[in-house]
């Protein structure tokens, strides 16, 4: 009889703990939604575009859909066909800035991947860019992906000797 009582008590405790764990997981998910902020990402991308000289573009949050944003240029803020009017270099720069923001965050706010578990692969970020942007892209890559050694691994692929030499300058001395 005491074994049945112990089993019933253990089952009740298990249900109570399972409910408490689920409640805490729900709180964590709600808090992650608060700090996973599209607005911060759009502001960061817009500021970086301006700092590297890409004027006349802006990333805006899509009305009615807080998880999406679009590119607008000048007066046409609808986002219609703006992407088609961009040069290959402009597309590359904007895409790379988005990629850097994505590396800082997570695709799924409910189950984020810790930075020290991420492996980042950068495939020729200076392709289609004028040589004027190689320094800026190298500096951004260093500051956002390499400097603090927070990722498990960062792999850079490039065909550009200029970019390679720019990145070599950031290697620790003596290694």
The rounded distance, in Å, linking the Cα atoms of 142 and 150 is 12
Q: What pTM value is reported for the model? A: 0.72
Q: Are 131 and 99 in contact (CB under 8 A)?
A: no
**Nearest C-alpha neighbor of 56 from the set 92, 97, 102, 94:** 94
pLDDT digits (tens, 9 = 90+) for 81-105: 676 778 888 888 989 998 998 888 7
In this predicted structure, the answer to whether residue 60 has a pLDDT above a threshold of 80 is: yes
CA dist list (Å): 143 to 94, 97, 136: 17, 12, 10
Average pLDDT, the chain: 83
pLDDT at 12: 95
pLDDT at 157: 94
The rounded distance, in Å, linking the Cα atoms of 130 and 157 is 18
List strand residue ranges (DSSP E) for the chain, in order: 57-61, 69-73, 119-123, 153-157
Lowest mean pLDDT among 79-93, 120-134, 138-152: 79-93
The neighbour count for residue 151, using CB atoms within 10 Å, is: 16
In this predicted structure, the answer to whether residue 11 has a pLDDT above a threshold of 80 is: yes
pLDDT at 16: 95
In this predicted structure, the answer to whether residue 77 has a pLDDT above a threshold of 70 is: no
pLDDT digits (tens, 9 = 90+) for 43-55: 888 999 888 888 8
Query: Angle at which helices 88-104 and 38-51 pack, to 10 degrees?
Result: 140
The rounded distance, in Å, linking the Cα atoms of 29 and 20 is 14
Q: Using pLDDT thresholds of 50, 70 and 90, give the confidence band for residue 32.
A: low
């Amino acid at each position: 009889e005491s074994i049945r009582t112990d089993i019933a008590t253990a089952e009740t405790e298990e249900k109570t703990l399972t409910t408490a764990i689920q409640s805490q997981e729900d709180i964590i998910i709600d808090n992650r939604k608060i700090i996973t902020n599209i607005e911060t990402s759009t502001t960061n991308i817009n500021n970086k575009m301006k700092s590297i000289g890409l004027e006349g573009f802006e990333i805006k949050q899509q009305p009615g859909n807080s998880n999406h944003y679009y590119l607008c240029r000048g007066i046409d803020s609808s986002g219609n066909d703006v992407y088609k009017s961009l040069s290959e270099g402009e597309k590359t720069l904007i895409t790379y800035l988005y990629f850097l923001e994505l590396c800082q965050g997570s695709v799924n706010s409910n189950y984020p991947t810790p930075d020290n578990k991420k492996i980042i692969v950068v495939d020729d970020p200076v392709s289609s860019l004028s040589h004027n942007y190689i320094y800026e892209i190298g500096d951004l890559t260093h500051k956002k992906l390499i400097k603090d050694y927070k990722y498990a691994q960062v792999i850079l692929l490039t065909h550009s000797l200029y970019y390679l030499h720019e990145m070599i300058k950031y290697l620790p001395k003596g290694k």
